[in-house]
Amino acid sequence: MSSYASAARPLVLADLVAAGSRARDVALVVAGAGFVALSALVSVPLPFTAVPLTLQTFAVLLTGAALGWQRAVPSMLLYLLAGAAGLPWFAAGESGTGFPTFGYIVGFVLAAAVVGKLAGSGADRTPLRTFALMALGSALIYLVGVPWLAVALDLSLAEALADGLVPFLGGDAVKALAAAGLMPGAWRLVGDRRR
């Protein structure tokens, strides 16, 4: 983590806080996992699907972009492993691995890696690029979560898409729009020193 954090110019927002400090990197990793856990408290069960409406994906994608992949991946692994070990901080107070939506949580790691890597290349600096980045991150979460849901509930792929993807597309678009304002706005606020 330290070579990433010690870059001369900030690649991601966290570099403004954690430059050259392993302790701050660790604190950011823990804070990222905690942020996703807090977002899981916003969990609305839907009567037609096993997948609840949450703010987790929004938190995961923001964490990936803000921390960069080298901090975001350990952060999401911490979130996953602590919850799998019994900490009830997944949506609706779930823990362990034996519930049908656990695949989405596995997808959080993949999404954080890709979003964090692309954000480090500047993909979070303009609204349009940030929107595309968040859409890609959401797609990666679904890439893991939907097939897992299908296997866990013995659904066809079409049924899993209807239950675990389609109802959430509108909300994901709103989250991506919000991120498209937040990330570039944060860079403008601190002054994009990467240019």
User: What pLDDT score does 16 carry?
Assistant: 85
User: What pLDDT score does 191 carry?
Assistant: 79
Domains and CATH numbers, the chain: 2-190 (1.10.1760.20)
pLDDT tens column, 51-101: 999 999 999 999 999 999 999 999 999 999 999 999 999 998 999 999 999
Q: What percent of the chain has pLDDT over 90?
A: 85
Q: Is the pLDDT of residue 2 over 60?
A: no
Predicted structure pTM score = 0.91
Angstrom distances, CA of residue 65 to CA of 3, 51, 154: 18, 25, 34
Q: Is the pLDDT of residue 141 over 70?
A: yes
What's the one-letter identity of residue 185?
G
CA distance 75 to 129: 24
